[in-house]
Chains A and B, each alone.
Chain A
C-alpha cells in the first residue's frame, strides 16, 4: 500500500501507522523530523543545552514506547510536545528544583510586549544563536514557570488553551504567568528597549 521510495515523502500519519507496526525506518524519519524541535523545546524548559539534550533522549524512548497507543488521525507534534514538557517537568521535580507556584496569581492586565523572534533550532541555524544571545540570556534567568509558559506562547505559538492543556493548568494561570514573564523580560531588557524607543 505504501510504496513511496523514500520515507521522507511520507506524511506523519503514514509514518505513525508504519511505526506502530514496528517499522524502525519510519520511526527514524519521525525522529529526523522532530528531533530539532524536541531538543530545542527541552533546552528551553531545562535552561541549559546539556539538560535539554539529556531529557530529549528520554523523550525519544518514551515516544517509541508509546507510539502504538497514539491515534494516527491526530497531529503528532502536540502529542510529542506534551511528552517533552512532561519529561522536563518530571526531571525538574526529581532534582527538587521545585517549581514555585506562589507567584502564579499575579495581577492580570499588564500591557504586553512581544518577544522578538527567537525561533531557531540548535541543529540548524547556529548563526542566529549568537544574534539572539541577549534575549536568550534574559529568558534563561526567568523562573522556570514563566520561562516555559512564555516559550510555549511566543515561540511554539500555542494558544492559551493549548498551553493550559499542555501544562495541566487553568487558563487564568496561563495568562497571569505570561503577563508576569513579559514584565520580567521587559525589566531585564529595559536597556535595549529604551535604546530602541529613542530611535523610533
Chain B
C-alpha cells in the first residue's frame, strides 16, 4: 500500500510528489499521458515559485524576463522588471523535470494510464486505472487539472463558466526578454506575447467572449510572425469563484483541480505549488495526529481566499475599464508592481487600496 497516490503530473501534482517523497513517504504518481507532454501555458513564473520548490530557475532552463510592454491599440508603455524576478518556462520541460526529481527522491511514476475509479474503504483507498491496474493508498491527491475527476468524486461542485486561453507556440531563435501584454483587444481579457527559450508564445485569454471569435482577434498579434503550420491550441483557466470543498477524509485537491488560479494575472503555477506545499503539511500533520485531511480546505482558503477574491475585484476594475486604466498607467511602475505581486512582496489587498486611492471612480 502506498502512503499517497498523486493523480496528475502537472506542476501541482509533481511538486506534491516531490515534497512528500523528500519527507520519506511512499508516493505513486499516475499520469494519463506520457512525459514530457505539451501544455498550453504562457509559462510566466515568478522567482517565488522556484523558492517554494527550493530549486533554481536554471534547473528548468527558465528564461529571464527583463521588461514588460503594455499595449493599448497603437499606444505602448514600457517598464523594466526587477532583475531575476520573473521568468518563463516551457511547461513540457518544467513538469517533466519536476516529476523526474520527485522520482529521484523516491516517488514512483506510472505513465499513460488514467484513473477511472476510486473506492473508499475504512482505512484506505483503492484506485483503478483504465488498463485494469489496481493500487491501494492511504491518501490521494487530486492534481488532475480543470474538470478534475477527483474533484467531482469528492463533490467539489465547480459549476461555473471559466475563461478560455488560446495560444500558438512559435519557434523563434533569440527572442528579446520582453513580455508584451495587449489591452483593448477583447472586453474582459488580454492578449500576450511571452518569450521563452527559442519560442514565442502568442496567446489570448478572455472571459465571456465568444471562443469562435478568439482566433480572429489573436491573428492581430500573429500577423508579423511565421505561424502557418503551428497548431492553435486552447485551454480553460481554472479561476477562483468562491469557496468549495477541496478535501475529504483521505483526498485533497491541488492546483487547477482546486480552481485557485489568480483571476487577475491568470497565473496558475504559483498557487499550484503553494497548494502542493499546504497539501504536504496537511498530510504530514494528519499522519502524525491521525486526523482526517478535511482541514485542508480551511488551510488553503485561509491562505488564499482573501487574495483571490481581491485579485478578482481588481481584475473587474482593470478589464472593464481598460482604456481608462491604460491612461492612468503612466503614474505607476507596472514592472515593479507586477513583479512584487507575483513574488508576493505586495498583496492584492495593498494594490486594491492603492486603486481606490488613485483611480477617480467618478470617471469610470
Contacts and interface: CB of A to CB of B under 8 A. Distances in A.
Tell me, yes or no, whether A binds B. Answer: yes
B361 A53 contact: no
Interface of B: 155, 157, 159-161, 208, 241-245, 297, 305-306, 309, 312-313, 316-317, 320, 349, 352-354, 356-357, 361-362, 364
A65 B297 CA distance: 35
A54 B362 CA distance: 20
12 contacts: A24-B356, A27-B356, A48-B160, A49-B160, A49-B242, A50-B241, A57-B316, A57-B317, A60-B316, A65-B364, A122-B242, A129-B157
A65 B362 contact: yes
Interface in A26-79: 27-28, 31-32, 35, 39, 48-50, 53-54, 57-58, 60-61, 64-65
Contacts of B357: 22, 24
A127 B243 CA distance: 10
A68 to B, nearest CB: 9
Contacts of B297: 126
Nearest 8 CB-CB pairings of A with B: A57-B316, A24-B353, A122-B242, A49-B160, A50-B161, A24-B356, A50-B160, A65-B361
Interface string A112-141: 000000000011101101100000000000
B317 A61 contact: yes
A93 interface: no
A35 B309 contact: yes
Nearest to B161: A50
Given A65-B362, A65-B364, A123-B242, A53 B312 contact: yes
Contacts of B356: 24, 27, 64
A60 B313 contact: yes
A126 B245 contact: yes
A8 interface: no
Contacts of A50: 160-161, 241
Contacts of B354: 24
B296 to A, nearest CB: 13
A28 B306 CA distance: 11
Nearest to B240: A53
**Which of A39, A54, A130 is packed against the most chain B CB atoms within 10 Å?**
A54
Given A24-B353, A61-B317, A126 B361 contact: no
A190 interface: no
A61 B361 contact: yes
B313 A53 contact: no
Given A54-B316, A57-B312, 12 more contacts: A24-B356, A24-B357, A28-B352, A32-B306, A49-B159, A49-B241, A50-B161, A53-B312, A61-B364, A65-B364, A123-B242, A127-B245
A53 B242 contact: yes
A27 B312 CA distance: 16
Given A27-B356, A130-B157, A39 B245 contact: no
B23 to A, nearest CB: 29
Contacts of A130: 155, 157, 245
Contacts of B243: 122-124, 126
Given A123-B305, A130-B157, A53 B362 contact: no
A123 B78 CA distance: 38
B155 A53 contact: no
A57 B157 CA distance: 22
A48 B290 CA distance: 39
Nearest to B244: A126
A150 B102 CA distance: 54
Contact of B353 (A28, A60, A123): A28
Contacts of B313: 31, 57, 60
Contacts of B316: 54, 57-58, 60-61
B210 to A, nearest CB: 15
A49 B157 CA distance: 11
Nearest to A31: B313
A22 B358 CA distance: 10
A126 B208 CA distance: 25
Nearest to B315: A57
Contacts of A58: 316, 320
A28 B241 CA distance: 19
